[in-house]
Structure 1
Amino acid sequence: MKYLEYTPLDRINDFLSHLSLGERTIKGCLEAYSCKHTGTDKKLSLSLEHEILDYLGKSSDTESSSPAEYLCSRSSRKTLTYLVLTLYHMYPDYDFSAVRAHQFFMEESWDSFKQIFDAYMFEISKEWVEANEGNSLLDTLYKALDEVVKLAECEIYSYNPDSDGDPFLERGAIWSFSFFFYNRKLKRVVSFRFSCLSNLANENFLTEGLYYEEEDGEIFDDMDI
């Protein structure tokens, strides 16, 4: 997969790169990728496919709502593979399991995404309006996404891993969301993750680190080396 540069996304990324709201900081990042294989993508894609097929071979659950039933579809396996490949490109040092990742993906609609965005990015949206002469942040985001992946043709997925499998989790995180906009025809994915971090938690971490350094220094001051 190849990282794609788009000016409309860059404009929003610049705004969301570091927004301090007193005790909290809001961060957001949009990344666009082509689903065409590059580098080691083909090998990794085959590995993910084999993992899924092996899981299906061992699964005895035949309920229609089971993960195994969903993954029996070649189209569904392909979609999952592209989503996991996107995760790999976002976090190359993290080892993702396709079967495990599948448990954390949920299909969404633009309305469900909008509800979350409006609820959690309300204050940031006000900041955007003030800085951009009244233009809505959500409308700007919609236009940018539509330009890159044509939202009317998109499948939208949220990714909500548990804490053990969450490479997105940062120190002091209060909340975080990750969404993927996948256009099957264009073979293109846009990821959008946004989070809220506690400035107090990070300040306490730095203070504790400084305290321990000073404490260690005092101990070593009394030692003959």
Structure 2
Amino acid sequence: MDGLVLYIGNKNYSSWSFRPWIALTAAGIPFEEQLIPFDFEAGNPRFRDISPTGRVPVLHHGALRVWESLSIIEYAGELFPDAGIWPEDVGDRAMARSISMEMLSGFRALRSACPMNIRREKRAIDLPEGVTADVQRIENIWREVRRRSGGPFLFGGFSAADAMYAPVVNRFDVYDLVSSEDTLEYMSAMQAHPAWVAWRDAALQETWIVPEDEA
């Protein structure tokens, strides 16, 4: 079987790249990383050569191309069913997929106003309409599922759902958006995970700078 090759963007900025990368890394799934930086105003023309959408992330598996973060995570979970990408309990899996899809399709006010930026100095901003509601909804999701599972992650052990919300942890932190004890406890668990630390350390070494925008 051909190996998996995951094409990603800058680790400092690319939230959608972060999601499948941390999911596969945390699950111990082997893959080759290929980073193509956002070093042009409109991204990078090389993206068109490797992705049907002209965007990253995209996973290559032989001749197969799998794009979009959640699709990549799902595909890896099917290839490696014993890796624990999704929770073991069927009800937990259903809930994990539901909140992952909510992250995929929602929270646009938060994502637009507060782009992921690992290197950003922590400071608050004036929040546009909709951001506070997004923050409250996410905190309620985290609180509910961690109360059911007992933590430390959303469904006990690290899963795809945590990967889908990983960039939000950075946003909540660097834009100083939250203060509740249970939210900060979850964020601390995420930021201490070895896969998170590896991504963060690599992001801190990057020198590319792009204007803040939704990522």
Pair in the same fold by TM > 0.5: no
TM-score normalised to structure 2 length = 0.26
Q: From the two aligned structures, give the one with the greater strand fraction.
A: 1
Name the larger-Rg structure.
1
Q: Report which structure shows greater RCO (CA 8 Å, sep ≥6).
A: 2
